[in-house]
């Protein structure tokens, strides 16, 4: 009887241990699922934030465009008003004589004005094209991730036995993401840049992303062991799955160590943050690595390596593209501002020239009036004296001088 009770006790302990183990495994699985859900929610929040920033940027661009159009309209109206007033002020005969001089003054203003209109037109067209491209890119974000995952599944079997092909495929996926991000090749990013380190050894990072102020981000594509990853996915035996997972994680760590040894971020040819991005082109492999080893991210960071997958890298590239768009918009705005300033300066110069011309006409008119007064007006003017001399001398002539009445009376 005691033996039976003893056996029952052992069975009970085994049952409790098994239950505790199952509960622990279930809790761990639920935690992994929760972490994955949290990451999905975080990515969705990033997309929402990106869309909100994009909307705010569009509103800012629209407001700036309206301000520039209004500025152009006001300048045009002011210019027309000033021109009309100046031309109405002077006699038509003088305008005809001075046409060449005025044309010489107006010609540079007209050229500047046409240049400004051309710059504004190009800027509006560029902004319109950017808005259309941005809308299309936002619509393609979800499709892109699906496309990448499908491509990864289709290529896994073909690539798992050829490491060279795996590397080429990883670089292909990376370049595809760069094209989808709207960044321009050989302008915003560069492939297979050939540089030398401090010891003269050649280094060829897969991609160098250009940033404003001559800064850059280095990305290197790494495809972990697809054999072990594929075996882990398809294996039904838990022990074998764990062995394949362990080998897969070791392969990822080996690639982190390899990037750490290359020390791209220390190369003086680049002004870059103190880390390199390691791109894993398979979203499932990227998620599996981070979910299976919570310390993997810190392990990589300690070696100045940041692990990214297709989704996280694409979000980063879109952020870089947005930074470049803002940089170009700011440069265009400064260019328009500079052209408007030059146009305003030319208008001021034109007004000053016309005022000087007006003063010259006024001075000439004043001198003319003074000369006429000296000749024919006032007591003792030249004409009255000449008429007096004529009368006294008895000169015979049919011509007579026109003088004021009071002077004629005085002569008589």
Q: pLDDT tens across 244-294, in order?
A: 889 888 988 998 898 888 888 777 777 776 788 889 888 888 888 888 888
**Mean residue pLDDT across the chain:** 73
Percent of residues, the chain, with pLDDT higher than 70:
61
Band of residue 164 on the pLDDT scale cut at 50, 70, 90: low
Comparing 336 with 12, which gets the higher pLDDT?
A: 12
Residues 22-45: what's their mean pLDDT?
77
Q: What is the pLDDT of residues 342-400, one digit of tens each?
A: 655 665 665 566 667 666 666 767 776 676 666 666 666 666 766 666 666 655 666 66
Report the C-alpha dihedral over residues 331, 337, 340, 342, rounded to 10 degrees.
-80
Highest mean pLDDT pick, 70-74, 121-125, 142-146, 255-259: 255-259
Does residue 171 have a pLDDT over 80?
Answer: yes
Instruction: For Cα atoms 225, 227, 229, give the angle at the middle one, nearest 5 degrees.
Output: 70
pLDDT of residue 233: 82
pLDDT of residue 299: 92
pLDDT of residue 409: 38
Q: Angle, to 10 degrees, between the axis of helix 99-159 and the axis of helix 163-180?
A: 150
Chain CA centroid to CA 156, Å: 37
Does residue 311 have a pLDDT over 80?
Answer: yes
Half-sphere exposure of 100 (CA within 13 A, CB side): 1
pLDDT of residue 405: 42
Chain CA centroid to CA 12, Å: 69
Band of residue 332 on the pLDDT scale cut at 50, 70, 90: low
Token readout for 159 is: 């690539």
Comparing 208 with 214, which gets the higher pLDDT?
A: 208
182: phi > 0 → left, psi -120 to 50 → alpha, else beta; which? left
Does residue 206 have a pLDDT over 60?
Answer: yes
């Amino acid at each position: 009887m005691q033996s039976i009770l003893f056996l029952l006790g052992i069975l009970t302990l085994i049952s409790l241990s098994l239950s505790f183990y199952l509960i622990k495994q279930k809790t761990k699985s639920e935690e992994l699922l929760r972490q994955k859900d949290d990451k999905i929610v975080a990515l969705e929040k990033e997309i929402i934030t990106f869309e909100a920033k994009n909307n705010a940027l569009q509103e800012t661009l629209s407001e700036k465009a309206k301000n520039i159009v209004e500025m152009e309209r006001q300048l045009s109206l002011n210019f027309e008003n000033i021109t009309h007033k100046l031309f109405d002020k002077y006699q038509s005969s003088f305008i005809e004589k001075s046409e060449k001089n005025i044309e010489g003054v107006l010609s540079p203003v007209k050229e500047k004005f046409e240049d400004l209109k051309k710059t504004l037109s190009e800027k509006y067209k560029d902004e319109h094209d950017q808005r259309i491209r941005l809308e299309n890119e936002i619509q393609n974000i979800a499709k892109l991730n699906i496309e990448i995952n499908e491509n990864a599944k289709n290529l896994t079997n073909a690539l798992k036995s050829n490491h060279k092909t795996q590397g080429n495929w990883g670089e292909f996926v990376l370049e595809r993401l760069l094209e989808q991000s709207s960044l321009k090749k050989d302008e915003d990013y560069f492939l297979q840049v050939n540089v030398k380190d401090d010891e003269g050894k050649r280094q060829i990072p897969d991609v160098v992303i250009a940033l404003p102020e001559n800064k850059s981000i280095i990305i290197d594509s790494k495809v972990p062991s697809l054999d072990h990853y594929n075996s882990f996915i398809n294996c039904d035996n838990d022990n074998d799955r764990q062995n394949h997972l362990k080998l897969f994680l070791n392969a990822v760590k080996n690639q982190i160590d390899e990037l750490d040894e290359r020390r791209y971020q220390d190369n003086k040819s680049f002004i870059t943050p103190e880390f390199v991005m390691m791109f894993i082109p398979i979203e499932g492999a990227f998620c599996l690595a981070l979910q299976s080893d919570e310390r993997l991210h810190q392990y990589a960071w300690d070696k100045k390596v940041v692990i990214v997958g297709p989704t996280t890298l694409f979000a980063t590239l879109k952020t870089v593209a947005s930074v470049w768009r803002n940089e170009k918009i700011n440069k265009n705005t400064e260019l328009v501002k500079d052209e408007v300033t030059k146009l305003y300066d030319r208008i001021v110069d034109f007004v000053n020239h016309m005022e000087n011309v007006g003063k010259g006409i006024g001075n000439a008119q004043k001198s003319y009036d003074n000369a006429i007064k000296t000749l024919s007006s006032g007591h003792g003017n030249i004409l009255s004296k000449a008429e007096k001399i004529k009368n006294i001398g008895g000169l015979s002539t049919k011509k007579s001088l026109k003088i004021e009445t009071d002077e004629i009376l005085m002569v008589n």
